[in-house]
Amino acid sequence: MKDASDPMKPQISRTESQAAELAPERGRLNSLKVILVLSTIMALQMTSFVMIVPLFARRFNEFGTGVAALGLSAMAYALVSTVTAPFMGALADRFGRRPLVLGSLAGYVAAFCGYLLAPTAGVLIVLRGITGAFTAALIPAVTGLASDLAPDDRRAQWIGFVNGGASFGWIAGPIAGGMIYDRWGYSAALIVSIVIAGVTFLVALLAVPESRLVNERTSPAAARHPSRGWRKSLQGSLANLRSSLPNSMPTFFALLFICFAVLFAWAFMEPEFMFYAYNDLDWSSSMLGLVMSTFGVAMMLGEFGFGRLSDRVGRKPIILIGLVLFSAQFLGLAFFSNYLLIAATFTIAGLGNALFDPALTASILDISPAEHRARMLGIKYTAGSIGNILGPALVVLVTSSVSENGIFLMAFGVVLLAILVGLTIKIDVQPSESEAEQAVVSMESSISHKSLFSGDT
């Protein structure tokens, strides 16, 4: 029988050809090397970023402002992140991961230089807001790149590797920032941060590849009419947003709420925690940095050691256990004043974060089409950013009428609500468009062959 007599042959060939272009063979060793590079980049970037976060309270005090200004700066950062995150994720899907990674890291260098030179609290607030756009670009791009390379049965583990690098920054950054500030002051800490951010950009420039080919990022129509593609890029992104969303929308919204809740709880508590530590508990900057670093140590060890746990036993139980452990820090601040006991609760919370965050991210990727993963991660980041906006905004409103313990217990209540919502989630892996198309072709081919053998032709 000639190949032309089988009407399914050309379709199968085209589909196999397209699948070969859309899913190029990647060596496991090369993929692991890229994951290690991404983990290193996140470690350096987070170190440079986190080492100055505890110092903002000191700097605003020097400007004659306090909790309100610190809360406004956190709100500005989160607001810009919220507005830009969905578009950054769409850009990472359309134009590639590497440009977003390099652009955001270069932006950090410029922003940190601005922190050093800012003459007033208002300028510092604006600069911190601008930095939110760079974070909104970096996180979906890096996580999307890791997801592109990860096997399905190791997705949470490889995301955990990348997150583990960021967790190292939570260890090194606060300790380094506190020690440098106590010895040499704010400017010295900023200069070190700028140098680390510059080194991070150079590492990314030399070692981060592009994980998505041109065929994956550019439609044929856009390739023939580049100017039309540029003009309609934003319009097309908005029009196609609904079609790119996961099929399991209740679970998707539940996962987004959890992202919102945990970041809301932290952002609501953070400004009060900084001043509570300095003014009521009489901690030094080094002591505050050490407590934050215990969180980072537990998070890093948990992500490296237990990253694959949700791949093996399921996403939902790991998310719930992680949230329960994460709430320990709020209870510790509410009920303890002993330094070691508070540090212990932050250690437990860091382990909880290491459990639920990779599992939650992998859950969103499980139910999202492969072609739109970075966009879905951008939406996830937006949900968290909304929490980062509303948390500081609420604490600014209630700080004069609610005690420190009341604020810490309110943050615990938000996480408890997230746990209850987490009980409703159901995770079903959603195939990509190319996988779904191949499944349809395979089914039709099977039917065709059955018809041939049964004599129905």
Within 8 A by CB and 6+ apart from 285, the residues are 54, 55, 58, 177, 178, 181, 182
Domains and CATH numbers, the chain: 28-216+245-435 (1.20.1250.20)
Task: Compute the half-sphere exposure of residue 299: CA atoms within 13 Å on the CB side of its CA.
Answer: 28
Q: What is the pLDDT of residue 241?
A: 55
394: number of Cβ within 10 Å: 17
C-alpha 92/C-alpha 103 separation (Å) is 11
Q: Which two tokens stand for residue 296?
A: 């980072």
The CA-based dihedral angle spanning residues 332, 269, 136, 35, taken in that order and rounded to the nearest 10 degrees:
-10
pTM for this one? 0.66
pLDDT band at 84 (very low <50, low <70, confident <90, very high): confident
The predicted model gives 425-432 an average pLDDT of 62
Are 166 and 41 in contact by the 8 Å Cβ rule? The answer is: no
Q: What is the pLDDT of residue 391?
A: 86
Q: What is the pLDDT of residue 312?
A: 86
Q: Which two tokens stand for residue 88?
A: 């950054």
pLDDT tens for 259-277 read 999 999 998 998 889 889 9
The predicted model gives 16-24 an average pLDDT of 39
pLDDT at residue 9 tops 90? no
- For the ranges 104-108, 240-244, 428-432, the maximum mean pLDDT occurs at 104-108
Q: What is the pLDDT of residue 450?
A: 40
pLDDT at residue 332 tops 90? yes
DSSP 8-state class, residue 213:
-
The predicted model gives 149-178 an average pLDDT of 80
pLDDT band at 243 (very low <50, low <70, confident <90, very high): low
> SS3 sequence, 364-378?
HHHCCCHHHHHHHHH
The predicted model gives 37-53 an average pLDDT of 88
Q: Residue 260: which of 389, 89, 409, 368 has the closest Cα?
A: 389
Q: What is the pLDDT of residue 238?
A: 53
- pLDDT top residue among 21 and 111: 111
Q: What is the pLDDT of residue 142?
A: 87
pLDDT band at 5 (very low <50, low <70, confident <90, very high): very low
Are 288 and 179 in contact by the 8 Å Cβ rule? The answer is: no
Q: Residue 179: which of 286, 55, 283, 59 has the closest Cα?
A: 286
Q: Residue 276: which of 439, 407, 393 has the closest Cα?
A: 407
C-alpha 50/C-alpha 164 separation (Å) is 15
pLDDT tens for 360-400 read 988 988 888 777 777 788 788 788 878 877 887 788 788 77
pLDDT band at 319 (very low <50, low <70, confident <90, very high): very high
For the chain, give the percent of residues with pLDDT over 70. 79
